C-alpha cells in the first residue's frame, strides 16, 4: 500500500503534506473569506474528494485518512504549531495536477 501511495504522491511524506496543505488552505479560506473564496473553496474540496477517491481505489478508507490528517492540522492550529513541511511547491501542485 505504501508503494502505491508513494508512486502517486512522490513519497509517503509528500502524500501527508499534500493532504495537510489542502486542509490548511481550505481552513484559511474559510477564516479569511477573501473575495471569490467560495469558488476557491469548491476547487479545494474537489481535490480533497479526488484524493479520498484515489485512496479508496487503493483499498483504504479515503475519508478516514484525510480526516486523520485534518485532525493533525487542527491540533497544530489550536496549539499554534507551525509544522516544518518539506514538500516543494512544484511537487504539491504536481500532485494535484495528476488528478483529472
Question: pLDDT for 3-52, tens place per residue?
Answer: 999 999 999 999 999 999 999 999 999 999 888 889 999 999 999 999 99
pTM of model > 0.85: yes
Contacts 24+ apart (CB under 8 A), 21-27: 21/85, 21/87, 21/92, 22/47, 22/48, 22/51, 23/48, 23/66, 23/69, 23/70, 23/73, 24/73, 27/73, 27/74, 27/77
Q: Are 100 and 92 in contact (CB under 8 A)?
A: no
In the prediction, which pLDDT does 34 show? 86
- pLDDT tens string 53-88: 999 999 999 999 999 999 999 999 999 999 999 999
In the prediction, which pLDDT does 31 show? 92
Amino acid at each position: 500500500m505504501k508503494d502505491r501511495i508513494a508512486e502517486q504522491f512522490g513519497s509517503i511524506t509528500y502524500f501527508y503534506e499534500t493532504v495537510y496543505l489542502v486542509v490548511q488552505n481550505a481552513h484559511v479560506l474559510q477564516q479569511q473569506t477573501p473575495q471569490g473564496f467560495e469558488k476557491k473553496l469548491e476547487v479545494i474540496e474537489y481535490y480533497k474528494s479526488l484524493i479520498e477517491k484515489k485512496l479508496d481505489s487503493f483499498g483504504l478508507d479515503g475519508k478516514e485518512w484525510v480526516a486523520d490528517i485534518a485532525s493533525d492540522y487542527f491540533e497544530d492550529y489550536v496549539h499554534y504549531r507551525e509544522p516544518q513541511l518539506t514538500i516543494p511547491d512544484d511537487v504539491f501542485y504536481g500532485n494535484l495536477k495528476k488528478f483529472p
